[in-house]
Amino acid sequence: MTTQPMTNALLGITTPGRICLFGEHQDYLGLPVIAAAISKRIQLTGHYRNDTLVKIDLPDIQKQEHFLLEERSVYSQSRDYFKSVMNVLAREKGLSFDKGIEATVQGNIPINSGTSSSSALVVTWTHFLLKLANYPINLAEIAELAYLAEVEEFGEPGGKMDHYATAVGQVMYMETVPSMHIETFTPPLGSFVLGDSLQPKDTIGVLKHVKFGMLTALQKIKSYNPYFELHTAPLASADDYRAILSADELMLLRSNLSDRDILQQAKALFAQPTLDQVQLGTLLNQHQQNLREAKRVSTPKIDRMIEAALAAGALGGKINGSGGGGCMFAYAPQNPEAVVEAIEQAGGKAYVIEVDDASYDFTHFST
């Protein structure tokens, strides 16, 4: 299917970053997550060219990418997202582009810090190409295609949370087992403060302990009790497996069962007509305790930033993303400026953020 170009020459797409409110390190176990799109966004503006060159300017990182359409099937780098999206669209939707594209990408989502800057970029590029081709837009479909282009195409270990959260927007509850199920909430949350530790994430090192340690534990448990289900097993049942699990594995099991239950409490909270802000902060703190002590994905610096935020009046906070560095966030519906100051005094870079909208078309000019 050859694309039908838009009659207007310039198109812009903007997509939010995201924070994971609840369910950190649980999506790859098939457990639900609750994420929120944030008011740090990436934007892409572009138009068709009269040749077959695809040229992408990325001034924020002082980089430029370019390739000919006939070269898109050969990847020249490990995460060649601008090509991979085109390949996925050709394979999954039969879309083929016969004219080149010139585009500029800019944004203010912290990079390599757990706020989904790369997924927001892939969602934006996917959305842009579909819109440019006059293909009917469905945000969940954009998320699924972006997941294929970023994760499946390169054999990456990630789940679908980032793509759906950035594409769909607002507060999003997502189940992937037994099938994909999305719910969105618009509670009157008020402000959060995002704190960048300025330390790059150690995703591989973290996953070695948290993901593969838990998967090993589940294999042992299933061999011992084939009827065990992570979705339904009571927290107290973790002690039934003390004899077959190492101390670290038992701690991971308990923390995952606890985090699963914390998430369900948070979902019920978001469904209420009046939000209990203090209870929300308490649940975030409980989640952080599991992430810090059992999963060990936090860092001393991020711990200090969270402690400083709480001392300055935040109601709760946690590390955000895979861990080993990156960002934290604090829930600060009252006086977020004081929380910003406290986080920066602890050595981070802080931003007041709000829950934000989905990916959308923000410019469309005629020539």
The CATH number linked to 147 is: 3.30.230.10
327-331 and 316-320 beta bridge pairing: antiparallel
Q: How confident is the model at residue 81 (pLDDT cuts 50, 70, 90)?
A: very high
Pair 145, 84: CB distance under 8 Å: no
Q: Which helix (H) or strand (E) holds 126?
A: helix 117-132
* Same domain flag for 144 and 216: no
10, pLDDT greater than 90? no
Q: How far apart are the first and last CA of the chain?
A: 26
pLDDT of res. 204: 67
* Same domain flag for 345 and 265: yes
* Same domain flag for 221 and 163: no
* Same domain flag for 73 and 211: no
Q: Which tens digit of pLDDT belongs to each residue from 295-345?
A: 999 999 999 999 999 999 999 999 998 888 889 999 999 999 999 999 999
Pair 154, 88: CB distance under 8 Å: no
Residues of 66-94 as b/e, b for ≥16 C-beta within 10 angstroms? ebebeebeebeeeebbbbbbbbbbeeeee
Write the CB contacts of 138 (distance below 8 Å, at least 6 apart in sequence).
none
* Same domain flag for 15 and 161: yes
365, pLDDT greater than 50? no
Q: Which of 31, 25, 9 is nearest to 260 (CA)?
A: 31
Q: What is the CATH number of the domain that holds 325?
A: 3.30.70.890
pLDDT of res. 84: 97
Q: Which tens digit of pLDDT belongs to each residue from 146-179?
A: 999 999 999 887 789 999 999 999 999 999 999 9
Is 5 part of any domain? no
* Residue 137 structural domain: 10-186+357-365
Is 3 part of any domain? no
Write the CB contacts of 227 (distance below 8 Å, at least 6 apart in sequence).
none
pLDDT of res. 341: 98
Pair 357, 320: CB distance under 8 Å: no
pLDDT of res. 208: 75
Q: How many domains does the chain have?
A: 2
- Cα separation, 287 vs 289, in Å, equals 5
Pair 37, 357: CB distance under 8 Å: yes
Partners of 34 in the β-ladder: 22, 173
* Same domain flag for 161 and 207: no
* Same domain flag for 260 and 303: yes
* Mean pLDDT, rounded, of the chain: 93
DSSP state of 136: P
244, pLDDT greater than 90? yes
Q: Which tens digit of pLDDT belongs to each residue from 32-57?
A: 999 999 999 999 999 999 999 999 99
Q: Which tens digit of pLDDT belongs to each residue from 114-146?
A: 888 999 999 999 999 999 999 998 999 999 999
Is 197 part of any domain? yes
* Same domain flag for 182 and 199: no
* Same domain flag for 182 and 245: no
pLDDT of res. 314: 98
Does residue 236 sit in helix, strand or coil? helix
E-strand spans in the chain?
Answer: 10-22, 33-48, 53-58, 63-68, 101-107, 171-175, 181-185, 192-196, 316-320, 327-331, 349-353, 360-365
Q: What is the pTM of this model?
A: 0.92
* Same domain flag for 138 and 245: no
